[in-house]
Every structure is written in C-alpha cells, then in structure tokens.
Amino acid sequence: MCGRFTLRASIEAIAEHLGRVLPLATLPDGTTSDWPMAADSFGPLFAATAQAGPMLAPRYNIAPTQRVLAVRRLAQGRQQPDREQLAEIFFARWGLRPRWASEPLKRNPLINARAETVCEKPAFRGPFRHRRCLIPADGFFEWRRDGRQSLPYFVRRRDDGLFVFAGLWEEDSPPDAPDEPTCTILTTEAPDWMQPLHHRMPVILQPTDYAAWLSPQADPQSLRALLRPIDGGEYEYYRVGLAVNSARHDRPDCITPIEAEQ
C-alpha cells in the first residue's frame, strides 16, 4: 500500500521531469497550510522551457487527507488550438471521495485503489475511465512488522530522483465537503525486492507511460498493462526513525537513516 510519501523537489525540477514527456499548461492558484509555499499564487509555467517559478516547500511526510500536487489532462474546452493534449498541475485532497459518498473524507479516505480491481469497484470505475492523474513523489514510506511493532522504512530511487505514482481523481466534493478534487494512489502486488517490507506497493509509472496514462483515448486493457510492479534495480530502502509515525511531523529527520541517529 502507500500511506505516506515525500516530495522534496522544487517546482522547476518537477516541471522539468514532467516536461520531458508532457506539455504542461499552467500551475494552480492558491494554497493552504497543508502545503506551505513561498508565494500565494503561481503564474504560467511551460515545462518545455523550464521557466522559473515559485518554490514548493519540501514535504517530508505527506499524509492522507492533506493536499497533494498532481497532474491531469487539461479539459477539452481549455485546450489551446496550437498545442494539443496539454496537461495541467493541480491540487487534490489525498483520499478519493466518490460523489455519492455521504461520510466526510477524514472518516474513510480511499487513499489507495488496487490495480487488480480498479475497473470493478464503484468508487473507482468512473475515475479510472475518465479522471486519471499523475502524482509526483521522490520517496514513500512502508512499515515492516517486527514482532509486536511496525518499523518504518523509506523507499526511494538510488539517485534520489523524482518518480510518478499512477493516480485517480474525482470531481469537486459534495456541497457539505470542501470544494476541491480528491485523489487516490493505485497499488499493485509488490515484487521480490519489496516483499521484505510489504506485499503491496504503489504503482510507479515509467516516464514513457505518462502520456498514455493521461490519454483520453486509452482503452481499459492498455491502461491495465501500465499498472505493473517496478523493477528494483533503480530503487533502495532503509530504516528510518519513528518520528514519521506522526502525520504532524514533516521535517528532514523523517528520512534520516536510523543508523545516522545512533
């Protein structure tokens, strides 16, 4: 599964990573205390030219129900005539809430969707067909059972670079909930290199698959083929301290190797 992750990269680095394979339109306006920023609003940012933009504050412990940065296909009516299939960066609450749900997001957030059944579950069928998104990250946490306790581990690329989760998003919530999209992260069976930590892991897309995942023309069979476990050759994990257990603790020591603390 995936219950916590990090995004420490600057907005320029995120745009550069995505812009290698996607034409980005604009960054969103506004902010909340869940995602501190250096400025109140963003201006246009085209990844192809890697224009400088405001910096996102590094996040070391992103937790469910908090705001996450995501990328979706720009609505057809907002596409620019001279640049087809633009994508846009937006914010969504982590924990997908179906439009027909009656409970508040914090009571039962759908933070993960199983790749094997995403086409069948009522909460995910619509988003899987029409509202797929990319969720940038540069690490995630997993807890390994050790007797009666669970020990946190940090998983990242060996070069500590960016990668992207396969995500789904839902339209603005019902009238009694915050007026903003919600999202979930897809998971798949963990490959051998992850099995010592957990039997599930988030779906990490290959950069060459970003556009296909967002494509409105993609069929369910081709989309399901993208939801495969990632090879472990470029990834590593190490144990970290218990500070990450608290969702309120969002500091660099969340990813400090436990050996360095002793």
**261 given a catalytic annotation:** no
| DSSP structural state of residue 240 | B
**Exactly one of 2, 133, 183, 254 is catalytic; which is it?**
2
Which one is catalytic: 142, 170, 183, 254?
A: 142
Closest CA to 34 of 105, 97, 139: 105
DSSP code at position 44: B
Helix (H, G, I), strand (E, B) or coil at 211: helix
- What residues contact residue 189 under an 8 Å CB cut-off, 6+ apart? 116, 199, 200, 201, 229
Q: Is 183 a catalytic residue?
A: no
- Tell me the sheet residues that pair with 202: 187
Q: What is the gyration radius of the CA atoms in the chain, in angstroms?
A: 18
* Pairing between β-strand 200-202 and β-strand 182-189 as defined by DSSP bridges: antiparallel
How far, in Å, CA of 177 to CA of 191, rounded? 38
Catalytic positions are: 2, 142
